[in-house]
Amino acid sequence: MTAPHIAPGARVKDETDEAAAAAHVQTLFNAIAPTYDRANHLISMGLDRHWWRKAACAFRSTLARPDARILDLCCGTGDMTAALLKVRKEAAASVGAAEPLTGLDFSAEMLTRARVKYPSPDVLWVEGDAMHLPYPDATFDLVTAAFGFRNLTDYAGGLREIFRVLRPGGRIGILEANQPEGLSAIVYNAYFRGLVPLVGGMISGDRAAYKYLPASVARFPRPPNMLAMMRETGFADAAWDGYLLHAAGLYRGTK
């Protein structure tokens, strides 16, 4: 199946060069790291915590296996990684020692805060590029990303890289924002395109960064296109679970 035409990946300033686009995204997230958590919780009205938990629970069967290797991409300040760890401990409480989870991000400033927030020996925090993962083929049983995949400079390339590092039978989980349609879109656009840059800019002092965030959602593939890309990459059982009037949702699939 050939995926419909879509934007190739994130662009802060309509760059045509992927390296320049990646550098701009990295600079942006390093800049907003000090206020990132506070802004996100306020903008999402606290729903981000619920969504991380819900997404993590979708992979409880994999997390329950102490030998399963887990990678959380674009981990930011570590909240999705922490949600995965919590579900793992609940699911495998009587199993004994488990493989540490890995949280990976290319923003050093974000990782600095992740290490302070979650100084657990059960998590390895790694600075790295999701487009060029520092792992051999077939390394992980689960790869997740929460609200970070849309910042990759090549969406199809990002899926191929995840597919590469997953073991056969391994699972992918991408929790991502979405642009609703119909009546829901009217309220969503008024809030996300109008208030988010204002509120985020006031908290962070960087209004341009919070203009990029709604623009990145508008640029990101809609669920039918994203699912087509996943199938084209080779993922089986590709599915999407919409959250809150489809303003966000979880993409799932199996290698």
**For the segment 56-81, what is each residue's pLDDT rounded down to a tens digit?**
999 999 999 999 999 999 999 999 99
Give the residue, 243 or 205, on which the prediction is more confident.
243
Given this model, what pLDDT does residue 213 score?
A: 82
- Which phi and psi (to 5°) does residue 92 adopt? -120, 35
Tokens 């998590």 sit at which residue? 123
Q: What proportion of the chain, given as a percentage, has pLDDT over 90? A: 60
Give the C-alpha separation, 117 to 111, whole Å. Answer: 10
Residue-number span of the structural domain to which 105 is assigned: 18-254
Looking up residue 210, the CATH number of its domain turns out to be 3.40.50.150
Distance of CA 121 to the CA centre of its chain: 22
Give the C-alpha separation, 79 to 67, whole Å. Answer: 22
The 10 Å Cβ neighbour count of residue 242 is 13
CB 176 within 8 A of CB 249: yes
Give the C-alpha separation, 111 to 109, whole Å. Answer: 5
In a domain, 191, yes or no: yes
Residue 187 pLDDT exceeds 80: no
In a domain, 36, yes or no: yes
Give the C-alpha separation, 9 to 151, whole Å. Answer: 7
In a domain, 230, yes or no: yes
Give the residue, 17 or 162, on which the prediction is more confident.
162
In a domain, 206, yes or no: yes
**For the segment 76-115, what is each residue's pLDDT rounded down to a tens digit?**
999 999 999 999 999 876 556 688 999 999 999 999 999 9
CB 219 within 8 A of CB 205: no
**How confident is the model over 201-215, as a mean pLDDT?**
76
In a domain, 11, yes or no: no
In a domain, 9, yes or no: no
CB 226 within 8 A of CB 238: no
In a domain, 24, yes or no: yes
Task: Out of 68-72, 238-242, 244-248, pick the least confident.
Answer: 244-248
CB 172 within 8 A of CB 161: no
Burial grade of 251 (CB within 10 A; 0-12, 13-18, 19 or more)? buried
Its pTM stands at: 0.91
The 10 Å Cβ neighbour count of residue 97 is 8
Beta strand 236-243 pairing with 166-177:
unpaired
In a domain, 1, yes or no: no
Both structure tokens of 188: 């969503």
Given this model, what pLDDT does residue 214 score?
A: 82
Tell me the Ramachandran region of residue 246: left when phi exceeds 0, alpha when psi lies from -120 to 50, beta otherwise. Answer: left
Number of domains in the chain: 1
Reported for 122-126, long-range contacts at CB under 8 A and 24+ positions apart, including other chains, are: 122/85, 122/98, 123/78, 123/81, 123/82, 123/85, 124/100, 125/75, 125/78, 126/102
Both structure tokens of 199: 């509120």
